[in-house]
């Protein structure tokens, strides 16, 4: 019975702590950042967040937004959709952010979307590629990254130049991988190119020899690979070890080719990568000044060069949000939402603006970005000669 008094005391203390911890706010404009900083796709999440920080610092150096400093509230969704939802809830309810950016993988973004509807907070989607995101009638979503369909369409011309006769797919087992596999398969079939096997892999799987053995036996000349950079490294190494001769083309833009060269060594040679920013050739970007400036700032901070291919997403995302806040005139979710429809941002990838997508009356915003293809040859990244 004395136990209950023990419970009371401790419980009260715990509650008091919680109450104290929940208090407190400062006079800044907060932007939420919901990214995977640990877990299976941590490399990418960290690159995107680094890019976001560069953008925020640049804005603050120029005087901030609406007279106040920009504060990024960065939270780790641990490469997990349930955690992404918890992070979104925390950012909205506890930190009271009027807008956020996230959540990297299509699965996490799809998971977060109901929360955006529930609380009425807009989110700029910087990486996710599943078509479902912008057509499910969620007016709080604004995506600057391309859908897998757009990627496949942009690649369509190159399929002929590569001379692909039969292609296999090796994709990560989630909305992103499966969506990309489906979109590219549809595009290939539309051109009369044969599709071989489609193998999936768990995001955290390290031993892919079983899938690769099947791909080797299928006789395809090309393998489309869609997954995070850590797993691409594993696939390249293991494919080489198994003596697979098919050319590997990665999709999704998260392949960080320099990281592949560093970690997979010569196994990376001969692979092709679809990207949305080519930091080796910033002058060929639609806004060369912005691109060069971003690359310089990234290098000045001593960040890993390999991360530029993804870091720009965070940069463009925050810049887009900033433009929305400026146009809205206040840091208020619905005002920002309305304002985002009218923004024109000169981003690293290109010019960013939103078109309507999805069911009438509940459209989401979608940007039409640029797509690049590079090749790794002799330990270097080059523009392929096709």
Partner 1 sequence: MSRALGLAWLALLVTLPAWMDDPYCLHVLIVTGIFVIAAMSLNLLLGYTGQLSLGHVAFFGIGAYTSALLSLGFDLDVGGGRTLLVGPHPVWLAMLGGVAVAGLFGWVIGRLSFKVRGAYFVIVTISFAEVVRLVALNWIDLTQGPMALNAIPPLSVSIPGLWELTFYKKVPNYYVVLAVAAFSYLIIRRLVRSRAGRAMVALKENEPLAASVGIDVTHYLVVAAVVSAAMAGAAGVLYAHYVRIIDPDVFLFIYTVTMVIMVITGGKGTLAGPVVGGLVFGIVPEVLRELAAPEVQWIVYGALMILIVFFLPRGIVPAVTGLWARITARPPLVERRPAE
Partner 2 sequence: MGELLQHVVNALILGGTYALLGIGLTLIFGIMGVVNFTHGELYTFGAYMMVLFAMVLGVNFFVALGLAIVLGVAMGAAVEIALLRPMRGADIDTTMLVMIGAWIIMQNSEQWVWSGVAKSVSSPFPDEPLVIGPVSLSWLRLFVMGAAIALIVGAHLFIHRSRLGKAMRATFQDRDTAALMGVDIDAVHTATFALGSGLAAAAGALLGPVFVVTPTMGNLAALKAFAIVILGGLGNFTGAALGGFILAFVEELGAGYISSGYRDTMGFMLIILVLLFKPTGLFARAERIG
Q: What are phi and psi of 115, to 5 degrees?
A: -65, -35
25 is a site residue for partner 1 (CB under 8 A): no
Q: How far apart are CA 105 and CA 38, in angstroms?
A: 13
Work out the number of other CB atoms within 10 angstroms of the CB of residue 136. Answer: 17
Cβ partners under 8 Å of residue 152, min gap 6:
180, 183, 184, 186, 187
Both tokens assigned to 366: 């979608």
Q: Is 206 in the site for partner 1 (CB under 8 A)?
A: no
Sign of CA dihedral 313, 318, 319, 324: positive
Phi, psi of 125 (to 5 degrees): -95, 120
Pick from 29, 72, 85, 116: which binds partner 1 (CB under 8 A)?
A: 85
Contact pick of 89, 221, 297, 332 for partner 1 (by CB under 8 A)? 89
Q: What are phi and psi of 367, to 5 degrees?
A: -90, 155
Can you tell me the distance from the alpha carbon of 67 to that of 84, in angstroms, rounded to the nearest whole number?
A: 31
Binding site for partner 2 (CB under 8 A): 37-39, 42-43, 46, 173, 199-202, 205-207, 209-211, 213-214, 216-217, 230, 233-234, 237, 240-243, 262-267
Segment contacting partner 1 (CB under 8 A): 25-33, 105-113, 237-245, 354-362? 105-113
Q: Which is nearer to partner 1, 86 or 232 (CB)?
A: 86
- Binding mask of the shown chain, residues 65 to 84, with x at each position contacting partner 1 by CB under 8 A: -----------x---xxxx-
For 301-380, where are the alpha helices, taking DSSP H only?
Answer: 308-328, 333-340
Angle of helix 288-300 versus helix 308-328 axis, rounded to 10? 120
Among 2, 62, 245, 385, contact with partner 1 (rule: CB under 8 A) = 2
| From the list partner 1, partner 2, none, partner contacted by residue 21 (C-beta under 5 to 8 A by kind) | partner 1
* Interface residue with partner 1, options 44, 46, 49, 107 (CB under 8 A): 107
Tell me the angle at which helices 229-241 and 42-61 cross, rounded to the nearest 10 degrees: 140
Query: What distance in Å separates the CA atoms of residue 118 and residue 184, rounded to the nearest whole number?
Result: 34
Asked whether 45 and 78 are in contact (CB, 8 A), the reply is no
Rounded Cα distance between 232 and 219, Å, is 21
Q: Whole-angstrom Cα distance, residue 289 to residue 1?
A: 73
Query: Residue 4, interface with partner 1 (CB under 8 A)?
Result: yes
Check binding of 242 to partner 1 (CB under 8 A): no
Among the residue ranges 14-22, 53-61, 186-194, 336-344, the one whose residues contact partner 1 (CB under 8 A): 14-22
Binding segment for partner 1 among 56-64, 173-181, 184-192, 370-378 (CB under 8 A)?
Answer: 173-181
Q: Which is nearer to partner 1, 6 or 61 (CB)?
A: 6
Query: Measured from the CB atom, is 137 or 265 closer to partner 2?
Result: 265
Query: Per CB under 8 A, does 175 bind partner 1?
Result: yes
**Residue 266 touches which of partner 1, partner 2, none (Cβ within 5-8 Å per kind):** partner 2
Contact flag: residue 5 with partner 1 (CB under 8 A): yes
What does the binding site for partner 1 look like in residue numbers (CB under 8 A)?
1-12, 14-15, 17-22, 76, 80-83, 85-86, 89-90, 93-94, 107, 110-111, 114, 173-175, 202-203
């Amino acid at each position: 019975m004395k136990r209950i008094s023990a419970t009371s005391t401790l419980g009260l203390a715990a509650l008091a702590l919680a109450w104290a911890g929940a208090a407190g706010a400062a006079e800044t404009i907060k932007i939420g950042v919901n990214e995977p900083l640990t877990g299976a796709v941590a490399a990418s999440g960290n690159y995107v967040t680094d890019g976001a920080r560069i953008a925020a610092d640049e804005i603050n150096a120029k005087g901030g937004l609406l007279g106040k400093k920009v504060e990024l509230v960065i939270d780790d969704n641990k490469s997990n959709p349930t955690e992404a939802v918890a992070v979104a809830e925390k950012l909205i309810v506890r930190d009271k952010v009027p807008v956020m950016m996230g959540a990297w993988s299509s699965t996490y973004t799809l998971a977060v979307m109901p929360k955006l509807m529930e609380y009425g907070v807009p989110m700029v989607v910087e990486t996710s590629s599943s078509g479902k995101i912008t057509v499910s009638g969620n007016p709080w979503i604004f995506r600057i990254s391309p859908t897998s369909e757009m990627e496949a369409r942009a690649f369509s011309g190159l399929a002929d130049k590569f001379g692909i006769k039969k292609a296999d797919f090796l994709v990560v087992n989630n909305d992103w991988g499966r969506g990309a596999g489906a979109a590219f398969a549809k595009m290939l079939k539309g051109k009369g190119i044969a599709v071989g096997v489609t193998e999936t892999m768990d995001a955290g799987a390290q031993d892919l020899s079983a899938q690769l053995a099947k791909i080797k036996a299928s006789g395809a000349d090309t393998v489309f690979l869609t997954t995070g950079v850590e797993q691409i490294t594993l696939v390249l190494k293991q494919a080489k070890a198994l003596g697979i001769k098919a050319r590997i083309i990665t999709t999704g833009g998260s392949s960080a080719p320099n990281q592949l060269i560093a970690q997979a060594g010569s196994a990376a040679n001969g692979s092709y990568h679809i990207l949305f920013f080519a930091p080796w050739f910033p002058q060929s970007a639609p806004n060369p000044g912005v691109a060069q400036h971003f690359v310089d700032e990234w290098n000045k901070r001593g960040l890993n060069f390999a991360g530029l291919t993804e870091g720009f997403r965070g940069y463009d995302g925050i810049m887009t949000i900033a433009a929305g806040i400026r146009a809205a005139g206040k840091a208020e979710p619905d005002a920002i939402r309305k304002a985002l429809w009218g923004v024109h941002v000169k981003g690293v990838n290109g010019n960013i603006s939103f078109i309507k997508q999805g069911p009438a009356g509940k459209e989401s915003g979608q940007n039409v970005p640029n797509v690049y293809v590079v090749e790794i040859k002799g330990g270097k990244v080059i523009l392929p000669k096709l």
